[in-house]
Amino acid sequence: MKSAVVIGSGIAGIATSIRLRKKGYNVDVFEANNYPGGKLTSFIKNGFRFDAGPSLLTMPNLVEELFELFEEDASQYFQYKKKEVVCNYFWEDGTIFSVDADAQKFAKDASKKFGVAEGKITNYLNRSRKKYELTAPIFLEKSLHQSSTYFSKETLRSFLQLGSMDIMNNLNYLNKKSFQEPHLVQMFNRYATYNGSSPYKTPGIMSMIPHLELHLGTFFPKGGMQNITNSLYELATKKGVNFHFSKRVKRILIENKRAIGIETEQETVKADLVISNMDIFPSYKKLMPDEKHPEQTLKQERSSSALIFYWGINRIFPELDLHNILFSKNYKDEFKTIFEKKNISDDPTIYINITCKEEKNDAPKGSENWFVMVNTPGDYGQNWEKIIALTKQQILKKIKRTLGVSIEKWIVTEEILNPKLIEEKTSSYRGSLYGAASNSKFAAFLRHPNFSQKIKNLYFCGGSVHPGGGIPLCLLSAKIVADQIKEIKNR
């Protein structure tokens, strides 16, 4: 039987292993850490459970699809509920707004709150849906690096409507043109952070992202976000995928321009296929140092990273929900500081995720588990010890100004994750969360393809390659890889 080796057990690596197992391959997954999931993991400290990484679930059907490949009942492994409130937004001028998951109700509520005609908001959301429906079958679900992608009715239909895609203008320009009202503009600008970019640089086509939340919905998995990893890992092992933990891959073995296996610190493993779920930068620089590297791709601007404080809070905050945002006063300056000055703004936007709002056992009674995140640049050698201390004080001050509470006296436990640690734990170059940033209209086409154009039988999946970062896109990258690999017949 033919064999495949997957390097890394991030969500895309696990999904790829499942799809290749379905195609009849013997699959071995090699992981440097002693646990699966990459960024999508969790930990417990002093009775508080924290999801360590991604905190937003959209498009759970992409997870369920993997169980359906084997005619398994996904609900036996993976359960979730749809959120009625997408996110609570707070501004320092006292404005508070809860985004309802129903698009029509959201448009009505936002119109009343911000004084913008309901029709304008509805029209924006309809255009968001149209952009997604026109582009997803091409830009998200297929390889952009194969000619067959461009010879289809869907592609022709999309290209004929390029003028309505807002590719030539940035997201902020589109939002200001659509709404004018500053709170609403800032709220829709935030969607640029979903792929680690700046709303003042990323193209307006990114306005399709709200469609995922307001039309398709946001969800919370039972057991927390790590249950996505746990359920897929359980499926993979049940179907015969072999996982090798604490086994760091040192090199991809290449012979006559063909990938033939890998070398770990302990052994050499031959395989018919090699798939790297490792960030594309170290995939080349560390695992294939002697091969010609796609330097233009590897030199792309990296996405933003994150500084996260995991706080056990000995108090209940009824005004907060699962997802909460405390906005900065000057959004433009915040992104300029991140991408141009490689620093964190003195007034950063704060994201607070509290899973015990859905899973009561994630925190002791009368307490809450706060995942407090600010967007940051990647690691360029900054003094992170100094930045972390300063940013923590800025966060505490902002929470006091916005929520009216001196939160520090309620913090009973703390862990911290910074860009340098993110790179150490996940091999994401400079600690970027989404690989390359999407700060240009050509970014989608500059992402590395899901296969090597120079080396046969070598493939790539995960957030640093096409179609991008985030759980749904990582799962789609696995599907794109599998679609390029023939099923083994007569097995």
> What domains appear along the chain, each with residue ranges and CATH number?
3-34+245-297+438-483 (3.50.50.60), 41-58+73-101+217-222+304-433 (3.90.660), 122-212 (no CATH)
Which of 133, 280, 131, 278 lies closest to 191, judged by CA?
131
Model pLDDT, residue 136: 75
Euclidean distance between CA atoms 199 and 185, whole angstroms: 10
Which of 1, 13, 485, 486 lies closest to 245, judged by CA?
13
Residue 299 identity (one-letter amino acid): K
Model pLDDT, residue 362: 98
- Contact (CB, 8 A) for 2 and 488: yes
Which of 396, 372, 328, 407 lies closest to 91, judged by CA?
328
Euclidean distance between CA atoms 341 and 336, whole angstroms: 7
Sign of CA dihedral 93, 349, 467, 232: negative
The contacts of residue 71 (CB under 8 Å, 6+ apart) are none
DSSP state of 303: P
C-alpha pair distances (Å), 51 with each of 221, 226, 308, 421: 11, 7, 11, 16
As to burial, measured by CB atoms within 10 angstroms (0-12 exposed, 13-18 middle, 19+ buried), residue 206 is buried
Half-sphere exposure of 87 (CA within 13 A, CB side): 23
Model pLDDT, residue 160: 47
Query: Within the chain, which residues score under 50 in pLDDT?
Result: 147, 149-151, 159-160
In the chain, what percentage of residues exceed pLDDT 70? Answer: 93
Model pLDDT, residue 161: 53
Which of 149, 191, 143, 153 lies closest to 171, judged by CA?
191
Which of 441, 189, 440, 196 lies closest to 332, judged by CA?
189
C-alpha pair distances (Å), 157 with each of 130, 136, 154: 12, 12, 5
C-alpha pair distances (Å), 411 with each of 36, 46, 84, 112, 136: 30, 12, 29, 37, 43
Output the DSSP codes for 158-200: HHHTGGGTT-SSBHHHHHHHHH--HHHHHHHHGGGGGGT--TT
Long-range pairs for 150-156: beta carbons < 8 A, 24 or more residues apart: none
Euclidean distance between CA atoms 280 and 463, whole angstroms: 9
